[in-house]
């Protein structure tokens, strides 16, 4: 819900900013906005495992662009996990975008893309063992690694006097694989076959959904 509300606000602001330029752009056709873009994914701040994001995108032709963004996962939203104080990690997402030729007004705004993802989170988890007499508690440093691939659709909107400010919204779906490494030599009860089966909120393969919005600047 937070993602949707913030996305609607950004698109509304972008519409107001570009409305003042409609008379001028109707008289001339602007070239595609090629070049290098510096951007940040604002939606990463409101994800369950969130943090600031920084990315670069290079649009080297009218139809193709490549990009890479990195996110520092520094906090967890309240009520997401029982003990989330020590969860830290990172995420990287390479992407290639294709802008269809049928969109040729001011610039090609609509695109389809293929996005990869790798996310790694490290945290402490407590386990209990029973030796026949006593129950012992021990802490294990866990590593959760997620790899994903998704096909997305999105739209880019340029605003401002020089059309350097970029607002972008995208959504898509795909598959991801999650594996948690316990690092516990005595952890023999885990089922290793679960890494190969389809799952929803546990290790293994599962569907994934991509959604986000970015704010960028053309250098």
165-180 residue pLDDT tens = 999 999 999 999 999 8
96-137 residue pLDDT tens = 999 887 655 555 688 999 999 999 999 888 777 777 777 878
pTM: 0.77
Banded pLDDT at 85 (limits 50, 70, 90) = low
Q: Please compute the mean of the pLDDT values over residues 27-52 and round it to a whole number.
A: 80
| Cα distance between residue 180 and residue 144, in whole Å | 4
Banded pLDDT at 83 (limits 50, 70, 90) = low
Q: Which residue do the tokens 């606000």 mark?
A: 9
| Cα distance between residue 212 and residue 39, in whole Å | 12
Q: Report the pLDDT value the prediction gives residue 109, as an integer from 0 to 100.
A: 82
CATH number of 2-218: 2.40.160.20
Rg, Å, the chain Cα set:
22
Residue from 100, 107, 36, 33 nearest 67 by CA: 36
44 φ, ψ to 5°? -70, -20
Query: Which sequence spans correspond to the domains of the chain?
Result: 2-218
- Identify the residue with better confidence: 103 or 149: 149
Q: Report the pLDDT value the prediction gives residue 151, as an integer from 0 to 100.
A: 98
| Cα distance between residue 198 and residue 205, in whole Å | 5
Question: Which residues, at least 6 apart from 193, have a Cβ–Cβ distance to it below 8 Å?
Answer: none
* Residue 65 predicted with pLDDT over 90: yes
Reported as type and span, the H/E element at residue 9 is helix 2-19
| Cα distance between residue 62 and residue 34, in whole Å | 7
Reported as type and span, the H/E element at residue 8 is helix 2-19
8-state DSSP, 32: P
């Amino acid at each position: 819900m937070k993602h949707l509300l913030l996305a609607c606000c950004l698109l509304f602001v972008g519409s107001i900013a570009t409305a003042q330029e409609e008379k001028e752009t109707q008289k001339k056709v602007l070239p595609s906005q090629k070049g290098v873009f510096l951007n940040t994914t604002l939606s990463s701040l409101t994800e369950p495992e969130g943090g600031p994001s920084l990315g670069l995108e290079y649009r080297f032709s009218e139809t193709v662009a490549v990009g890479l963004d990195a996110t520092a996962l520094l906090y967890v939203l309240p009520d997401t996990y029982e003990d989330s104080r020590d969860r830290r990690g990172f995420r990287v997402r390479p992407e290639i975008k294709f802008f269809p030729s049928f969109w040729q007004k001011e610039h090609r705004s609509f695109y389809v893309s293929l996005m990869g993802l790798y996310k790694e989170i490290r945290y402490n988890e407590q386990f209990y063992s029973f030796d026949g007499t006593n129950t012992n508690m021990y802490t294990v440093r866990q590593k959760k690694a997620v790899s994903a691939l998704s096909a997305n659709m999105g739209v880019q909107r340029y605003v401002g006097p020089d059309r350097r400010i970029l607002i972008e919204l995208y959504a898509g779906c795909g598959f991801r694989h999650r594996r948690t490494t316990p690092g516990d030599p005595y952890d023999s009860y885990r089922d290793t076959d679960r890494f190969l089966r389809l799952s929803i909120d546990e290790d293994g393969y599962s569907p994934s959904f991509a959604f986000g919005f970015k704010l960028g600047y053309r250098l």
